[in-house]
Amino acid sequence: QVQLVESGGGSVQTGGSLRLSCAASGRTFSIYTMGWFRQAPGKEREFVAVVSWNGDSTFYGDSVKGRFICSRDNAKNTVYLQMNSLKAEDTAVYYCARVLSSFTWTYRVSDFGSWGQGTQVIVSS
């Protein structure tokens, strides 16, 4: 099974920026859509962003649209989440995930089957 390892989390003040990275194992990274989700204490897991297998398409949750940018570098087996203009409500554990089926364009959480352990992001107002 694929292994996903997130990094780049930490503490930042309101209005600041962070870049999260997710490193994936395996030889088939470039054929899978990758996504980012987050979960705040006491809240349900929330969709954040998704990028298609070739990086040509992205889609974002309403709460982060215009502030976050999702991208990928298939040569490095890595997906990124650039987070700008951070708000206190962005505080959460952020998870990287891979879709269950190759060459599948989706942002539904139920279609993602492989998950990283998460990285904590804390935004102080």
pLDDT tens-digit readout, 36-61: 999 999 999 999 999 999 999 999 99
SS3 (DSSP) at 84: coil
How confident is the model over 70-124, as pLDDT tens digits? 999 999 999 999 999 999 999 999 999 999 999 999 999 999 999 999 999 999 9
CB crowding 17-41: b at 16 or more within 10 Å, else e: ebebbbbbeeeebeebbbbbbbeee
